[in-house]
Amino acid sequence: MKTKKRTTLLRYWTTRYLITLTTGLLVLSLFSLWWMEKTALEYRLSLLKYLADETADRAIKDNGQIVVGPLLSEIVEEREKILHLNEQPIIYIVDPDGEIIYTMPQLYIESKDNVLPNVIMNNKDTIQKVNINEENQVYVVKSPIREDSNKIKGWVVIAQEEGSLTEINQDHGLLAVMMGGLLIMGWGVIYVLSRRISKPIQNVAKAAAQVREGNYNIYLKEEESHEEEIYELVESFKEMTTRLKHMEKLRAELFAGVTHDLKTPVTSISGLIQAVKDEVVTGNESKEFLNISLKETQRLQRMIEDLLDYNAMAAGSFKMHVKSENMNSFLQEACYHWQITQEEQNFEIVVELPNEDVWAKMDSMRVQEILINLLNNAKQALDESGKIKVVLYEWNGEQVCIDIIDNGKGIPKHEQEYIFEPFYRGQKKKLKVRGLGLGLPFSKMLANAQHGNLVLKESNEEGTIFTISFKKASSE
């Protein structure tokens, strides 16, 4: 299978941000250039119109005659400098019929009989765009020359190529510097920010690779992170590795404990039978040895059955027969059967049921297994005399719950989070009761398989409360 090439988080985001930023700035630059050219054209046309009007005012004397002298040429040249054009505009002074009287600096528009084209003279617009040929387009600005009687004595016509009017070389350089500066600054900012974000993620990724290889002794450098998500990621990973390290240590201890618990009855049985075989004991004593061996065999068989049941449940090959059951009658009967099978009766058991029957969806045989396991644990937690209370009730109108309450010494605080781990047994129970530590994990799996749950509700020095919950059902 072809492996897809991957890149680092820093390179991935900085590259894409750079492409996005470059594209955005390019579009913005093109729009700015268009706007600057448009603004420059309008500004220069207005200046040309002002130049035409001023020239028209100075081109006529009091007697009504059009005169072009040195003073007019100096004024025109001075006003042209304001336009900042690479090419000098062409100024025509014509009579009312369009015949050219004066041109500065040279004749720009070729015309027959030294007369401006009708397309210019007959157009009423003072500013117009004229196509000289396919390549050249010029703007023409006109201003009438009037005498005191307001009679038109001629026209001042100024012509300039469109490209010269829209040319903004100096502004192009300024725009390029500004956009380049924004590009470099934007890329630098996103690089620094991306590096700040990616660094802790890279550290977590490297640590995760070590965990994958089975090394839980990792160290993540303490880095102050203002981003909540990054902080949560790093802290959660630290907690996860700490828990994995603890669970790995616990697994080794539990494996050793389970091996010892399985080996002990085998060794005991082997020694007892060997003693009978070698006639070390005879008569009634040999029968007692055989009875002990039988009990050890039965205990070993129960351990093996627990392992097989747990493996079957974990593999999902455990069948459930869930149906609606009357919890009042079921609970009362199950508790009574368990109580009469107990050899020692130095405790009190109380069953509290609601006045009306409560129905739940469950597998009665499997729930009885859960209940017996919890009652056995409750009894083991009691002192020489104690009390066990079993309470049935509804919760939120959707669930049916059973609380198993004892007044024993409770489960130590530091052991409570591990009680549902396979093969885990608390220190006191490990010394007092022999077993594999599969009772509570298996019970929880049975409850979950019936769309229910088993939780440790509360545990302290005054006692422990376990709660089993199932979905409420309608009565049949």
312, 433: one domain:
no
Q: Which residue has the tokens 């090419």?
A: 87
Q: How far is CA 120 from the centre of its chain?
A: 67
For 360-374, what is each residue's pLDDT tens digit? 999 888 898 889 889
The mean pLDDT value for 409-417 works out to: 86
**Would residue 1 count as lying in a domain?**
no
**Would residue 296 count as lying in a domain?**
yes
The CATH number for 242's domain is 1.10.287.130
Confidence band (pLDDT; 50, 70, 90) for 317?
A: low
- pTM to 2 decimal places: 0.48
339, 287: one domain:
no
Q: Which residues contact 248 (CB under 8 A, 6 or more apart)?
A: 216
22, 150: one domain:
yes
Whether the pLDDT of residue 235 is over 50: the answer is yes
The mean pLDDT value for 163-171 works out to: 71
338, 287: one domain:
no
311, 354: one domain:
no
132, 73: one domain:
yes
31, 106: one domain:
yes
Q: Which residues contact 223 (CB under 8 A, 6 or more apart)?
A: 199, 200, 203, 234
What pLDDT was estimated at residue 428? 60
- Distance CA(331)–CA(351), nearest Å, equals 8
What pLDDT was estimated at residue 326? 92
DSSP 254: H
Q: Which residues contact 178 (CB under 8 A, 6 or more apart)?
A: none
The CATH number for 433's domain is 3.30.565.10
Tell me what percent of the residues of the chain surpass a pLDDT of 90. 10
Number of domains in the chain: 3
**Would residue 201 count as lying in a domain?**
no
162, 14: one domain:
yes
Alpha-helical (H) ranges within 59-115 are 70-83
For 455-471, what is each residue's pLDDT tens digit? 999 998 889 999 999 99
What pLDDT was estimated at residue 108? 44
- Distance CA(161)–CA(142), nearest Å, equals 15
The last residue of one of the domains, among 138, 171, 204, is 171
**Which tokens belong to 119?**
């397309």
**Which tokens belong to 275?**
């003693």
Strand partners, 157: 92, 142
Average pLDDT value for the chain: 78
Whether the pLDDT of residue 475 is over 50: the answer is yes
**Would residue 276 count as lying in a domain?**
yes
373, 412: one domain:
yes
Give the range of the structural domain holding residue 63, as residue numbers without chain letter.
Answer: 9-171
The CATH number for 93's domain is 3.30.450.20
**Would residue 115 count as lying in a domain?**
yes
The mean pLDDT value for 245-249 works out to: 74
What pLDDT was estimated at residue 197? 75
For 436-462, what is each residue's pLDDT tens digit? 677 788 888 888 888 899 999 999 888
Q: Which residues contact 360 (CB under 8 A, 6 or more apart)?
A: 324, 325, 327, 400, 470, 471, 472, 473
What pLDDT was estimated at residue 432? 52
**Would residue 3 count as lying in a domain?**
no
Q: Which residue has the tokens 């590259």?
A: 15
Whether the pLDDT of residue 179 is over 70: the answer is yes
Segment holding 397, helix H or strand E: none
The last residue of one of the domains, among 318, 336, 360, is 318
**Would residue 388 count as lying in a domain?**
yes
Q: Which residue has the tokens 């039978």?
A: 273
338, 448: one domain:
yes
What pLDDT was estimated at residue 312? 67
The last residue of one of the domains, among 289, 318, 347, is 318
Whether the pLDDT of residue 433 is over 80: the answer is no
Whether the pLDDT of residue 214 is over 80: the answer is no
283, 158: one domain:
no
pLDDT winner (highest mean) among 128-132, 213-217, 324-328, 385-389: 324-328
142, 249: one domain:
no
**Would residue 306 count as lying in a domain?**
yes
